[in-house]
Structures are given as structure tokens and as C-alpha cells.
Structure 1
């Protein structure tokens, strides 16, 4: 199959984050096996979705991971010119959900497999395709934990998030949590008999704002925009009617951390404010939704120099969004971001990748394989 045909098949699977992904996993497995790769399908604890790990070359030698995610964000935005889960070509543009983020990279890697299988690789190339990245990299930790049983510890990882095929050396880390506060309902005319969960949550929100203000004062890393860690409350839900004391309120909060700062630790002052409510009769639930560390690769790292040589582009120092690369780095694997497409096209109607970008990504993967030949 051509890269465009593979991309059409991938886009055709509505592998929306948080849903079962058996169909796209089966397709990727079949493409890999036809090319001669050894494949392991790794079910996650959710029971209805899985990671996939495939290898071309000797598994007992440290090699390189090409990492991508099979899930996409929902496609409910108004403004789609066609079915988001049917690839549509218009000139050089290939439209569809996930074309840039990041099924274009998956298609390029899969299209390059026959060439990679035909050369004699001294070091293996591993395909690590995960699920639920769009929910905070939920699948990748399970895949990374399984690596010792799948191959020799890889020496490098390239995460193919859309970057215009320009390598990116660093990104912020992230932690997200859901706070649930339970109070006691009643008629609003007798607030003394109830426990107002929204009022209690207001104290937690105040702690969140104070922490956000504190973080803006540093530490600073000029590679990022903004150059400091950040914290925000993203959602807030509570109450049934104006004359009912609200007995439940839920908020979701996230922190984004510069390199060297633990993002989960940034949420602790907010967690402490929430837990203090227990002493006043409220129930409190604190659920960590996602947590991944920052990425930071040295400018002169061999992986950065290799990507600069192959792409002809000086690596970008940093971006503020996050990827699975931080998780691979935390596992002791040098990591970098480099993939086709543009992040500015992602998560919006009429997402697209250009045919030339897809072809360039295939050529890059094949050229990378040539560097690993005996």
C-alpha cells in the first residue's frame, strides 16, 4: 500500500480517545507482520484498548523507538467540509481527523517498513504505538513498563508528533486531577442545615489561584512560553437549582511544569486545601487523571545532531505542549520529537496533512534506517 492508502485506512478507524481501539490495532498488526516485523499487542488495564509494539531487526541489541499514538480527539467541531473519518484529497492536502495528529506519522512509518525490512539493520527499529495519548498519555506508561520483556533497552526514541519534520528537544511536563467535593443538600432558606459544596470548592479555587500566581514568579526557563510553570482550573460543575443547597461540586485542574519541576508536586497545595475540608464534614475525592514529566534533551546530544543532519533543520529548543517523549526519557531513553504535519492544524475542523509532508516523512524514516545498517 502507498502511504496515502495506509493513511486513508488509519483515518477510517474512528479511534477516538477513551474508546475501544481493537480495529486499528488489528490493521497495524497486519501491516507490520506482512512486512516481516515481530509484533506484540499489549492490552491495557481498561480491557477494551491496547498498545502495539513491533520490531524490525535484532531485538537483543539496543535500538531506536519510533513512538506514536493511535487515538485522536473527537471530531464534533462545526465546520468540517466532509466526513472527518474519511480521507479526502483536495490538491496536495489530505483532510481527515488525525492526519496531522498523528496518523500521518503512523502511516509514514508503516509505509517505510518494507524498506526497513529489506536492509540489514545492525540495530533494531521498534514501533511503539500507544492508546489514549490525548487523555494525558495513559497508554504509554504500560507499554514502557513492558519494554524489558520485549527488547534490549532502547538507546533512543523519536516521538512523531507534528513538528514540520523539525526536531524539538524539550517540552513541559503535565499533571491533571479531578476534585470532587460532597456536602449536604437542603432548602436554600436554611443554609445552616446544609453543607454547600460550591462554597467549599471556592476555597480550593482560591488556593489554585494563589498557586498559579506563585508559579508565575519562577523558576524560569526561557526556552518555554510562558517561561515558567503554570496552573489552571479548566472545568467546574455543581448545583441543581438556585433554591437547593448544592451537595456536590467537581473541578478539574492541571499544572504544566518546566524541565526539572515535578508537575504533580505543583498540585499539592491545591490538594491540601481540598483535604482540609474533610474536618468540616465534607467528603473529598482527589483523582489524578494524568501525569507525565517534562522532556529536556541537550543541544549537543547525538540524537539531536542526527536529526539535524537528516532533516537539514536545526532542532527547536522547546515547546509548551507535552508528549510521550518525557515518559521515555524518564525511563532512561534519550528522546526527541520529530514528525510530519503542523500542530496548528490539529484539534480543529478540516485537519490536514500535505502529501509532500507525508512523502518526506517516509523518506526520513527510510534514511534513518540506513544509518542503522550494519
Structure 2
């Protein structure tokens, strides 16, 4: 089965983040099982979602991980020119949700599988396909924790996020959290008899805005745009009517951190401010939503050199978006980003991939297999 045919199958699964993914996992398992018995479904704690891990070659020696996520963002935008879950071909473009982010990488890896399986690999190539990456890399930590029982510690992991097939050595880390403030409702004519949750939230927002402004003064890492860590309030919701004292207000905050800075530490002052409201009678609930560390791979690392040779391009120093790569590096496995497509096409109507990008990715994976052959 060619990579384009595989992509057509994968796009047809509406594997939207946060939803059950059994159908796509089972299709991939059945396909991979034609070439290797070393394929394992790894259920997550949610009960209806799973990661998948498979190995081609000797699993008891260090090898390389091909890492990608099976989930996609929703496709509810009215601007789609066709059904987002039906692959549409127009010229050299293949349209559909997930074509760039990032089912084309999965399709390229699976398309390369027959050739990889036909080789006598001296080092293994692992397929690590995760769930709920789009919700802040929630699925892959469970997979990474299981690696010691599945294979020898890998030498490196290639995370196939869209990068125009140019390797990327670094990205920022991220943490997100939701804070809910509960006060006491009442008639707006008697504010003295209630606790206004929105007013309380404005104190947290004021501190967050001030914190964001301070981050712009450093520390700096010139590899990134912007070259500093960032903090923002992304959503806010509260109140029922203008003449009712709002007893509930919730907001979501996000921090993105350059390497060497803890994303959760950037959120700590917001949490501290929220907790301080308890002394005035408010109830406070702080709910971490997601967190992953930054990636920082040295330009002279063996994995960097490997991707330089496989892609025949100089790696890019850094990007500001995040991936699962930081979690692999945090587990002691060197990681790098390299995949087909462009991040600018992701999360938009009429997402697409070029045919030659898909072919180039499959060729890179097959070249990796050739290097690892006996």
C-alpha cells in the first residue's frame, strides 16, 4: 500500500483530540502486524484512548523512534471546500484534516514499513504513535513510561511534526492551567452582600499581564521568536446577567518557556495570587491542563548530524511551537523534529500536503533503514 493510499485511510478516521481513538489504532495495528509481531496497543488512563508502539528489527539493542500523534484538531470551520475527513486531490496537493499535522508523517512511516521489514536491520526502528498531542501532549508520557519494557533505550527520536522536511533542534516548553473562582451571588444593588468572582479574577489577570510584560525583559534565547518566554490569559468566562453579582469566573492561562526555564514556574505566581483569594471568602480551584518541557538538542549531537545527512539540509536552530520532543529528551532520549508539511497550514480550513513532501518523508525513513542495515 502506497503512502498516499495510507494517508487516505488515516484521514478518513475523525480522530479528533479528546475523543475515543480505537478505530484508527486498530487499523494501524492490523496493518503493522502484517510486517512484525512486535506491535503493542497501550491503553491510556482515560479508558477510550490508546497509544501504539511497534518495532522493526532487534528490540534489545538501541535504535531510533519515529514519533507521531494520531489525533487531529476539530474541523468545524465553515470555510472547508470539501469534507475534511475525505482526502481530496487537486494537482499536487492532498487536502484533509491532519494532512500536515500530522498524519502524513504516519503515512510515510507506514508506507516505508514494507521496505524496512525486508531489511536485516542491525538497529531497530520503532513506531511510537500517540493520542491527544493536541491537548498538550497528554498521551505520549504514558508511552514513554512503558519504553523500558518494550525496547532497549533508543539512541534518538524523530518527531515528525510539519517542518518542511528540515530538522529542528529546539522548541519552547509549555504549561497551561485553568483557575476557577467561586464567590457569592446576589442582587447587583447590594454588592456588599455578595462576593464578585469577576472582580476577583481581574486581580489575577492584572498580575498575569504584569508578569507577561516582565518576561519581555529576559532571559533571552536568540534562537526563538520572540527570544523570551511568554505568558497569557487565553480564555475567560463568568457571570449570568448584568444585575446579578457573578458568583463564578474561570480563566485559562498559558506559559511558553525558552530552554532552561520551567513553564510551570511561570504559572506559579498566578496560582499563588489565586490561592490568596481564599482569605477573603472565595473558593479557588486550580486545574493544571498540560505541560511539556522545552527541547534543546546540540548542533553537534549525533542525532543532529544524522538528520543533516538524511535530509541533506542544515537543521533549523529552533521554533516557538511545541512538540512531544521535549518529553523524549526529558526521559534521556535525544530528540529532533523533522516531518512533511508546514505548520502554517495546520489547524486551518483546507489543510494540505504536497505529494512530493510525502514522498520525501518516506524516502528519508527508508534511507534511515538503509543506514541501519547489516
Q: Same fold (TM over 0.5)?
A: yes
Separation (CA, whole Å) in 2 of partners of 1:16 and 1:224? 30
Separation (CA, whole Å) in 1 of partners of 2:186 and 2:252? 25
Separation (CA, whole Å) in 2 of partners of 1:150 and 1:186? 58
Instruction: Give the match for residue 31 of structure 1.
Output: 31
| Superposed displacement of residue 372, structure 1 | 1.1
Q: What do you get for the CA RMSD once the two structures are aligned?
A: 0.6
Separation (CA, whole Å) in 1 of partners of 2:4 and 2:208? 46
Separation (CA, whole Å) in 2 of partners of 1:94 and 1:126? 27
| Superposed displacement of residue 296, structure 1 | 0.4
Instruction: Give the match for residue 72 of structure 2.
Output: 72
Matched, 1:264 2:302: no
Instruction: Give the match for residue 308 of structure 2.
Output: 308
Separation (CA, whole Å) in 2 of partners of 1:122 and 1:265? 43
| Offset from partner CA, 1:223-261 (integer Å, 9 cap, x none) | 000000000000000000000000000000000000011
Structure 2 counterpart SS, 1:110: helix
Instruction: Give the match for residue 161 of structure 2.
Output: 161
Matched, 1:93 2:93: yes
Instruction: Give the match for residue 236 of structure 1.
Output: 236
| Offset from partner CA, 1:142-201 (integer Å, 9 cap, x none) | 110111111111110000000010000000000000000000011101111100000000
Separation (CA, whole Å) in 1 of partners of 2:371 and 2:195? 65
Moved over 2 A (4+): none
Matched, 1:63 2:63: yes
Separation (CA, whole Å) in 1 of partners of 2:214 and 2:275? 21
| Superposed displacement of residue 78, structure 1 | 2.1
Instruction: Give the match for residue 198 of structure 1.
Output: 198
Separation (CA, whole Å) in 1 of partners of 2:78 and 2:308? 39
Structure 2 counterpart SS, 1:267: helix
Separation (CA, whole Å) in 1 of partners of 2:55 and 2:352? 29
Instruction: Give the match for residue 40 of structure 1.
Output: 40
Instruction: Give the match for residue 325 of structure 2.
Output: 325
Separation (CA, whole Å) in 2 of partners of 1:208 and 1:373? 53
Separation (CA, whole Å) in 1 of partners of 2:311 and 2:287? 42
Structure 2 counterpart SS, 1:34: coil
Instruction: Give the match for residue 113 of structure 1.
Output: 113
Instruction: Give the match for residue 255 of structure 1.
Output: 255
Structure 2 counterpart SS, 1:177: strand
| Superposed displacement of residue 37, structure 1 | 4.7
Structure 2 residues without counterparts, runs of 5 or longer: none
Structure 1 counterpart SS, 2:33: helix
Structure 2 counterpart SS, 1:333: coil
Separation (CA, whole Å) in 1 of partners of 2:59 and 2:302? 22
Separation (CA, whole Å) in 2 of partners of 1:80 and 1:122? 46
> What is the 5 A alignment of 1:176-215?
176-215=176-215
Matched, 1:369 2:360: no
Separation (CA, whole Å) in 2 of partners of 1:371 and 1:200? 60
Matched, 1:217 2:221: no
Separation (CA, whole Å) in 2 of partners of 1:186 and 1:146? 52
Instruction: Give the match for residue 338 of structure 2.
Output: 338
| Superposed displacement of residue 35, structure 1 | 1.8
Separation (CA, whole Å) in 2 of partners of 1:352 and 1:90? 10
Structure 1 residues without counterparts, runs of 5 or longer: none
| Offset from partner CA, 1:318-341 (integer Å, 9 cap, x none) | 000000000000000000000001
Aligned length: 374
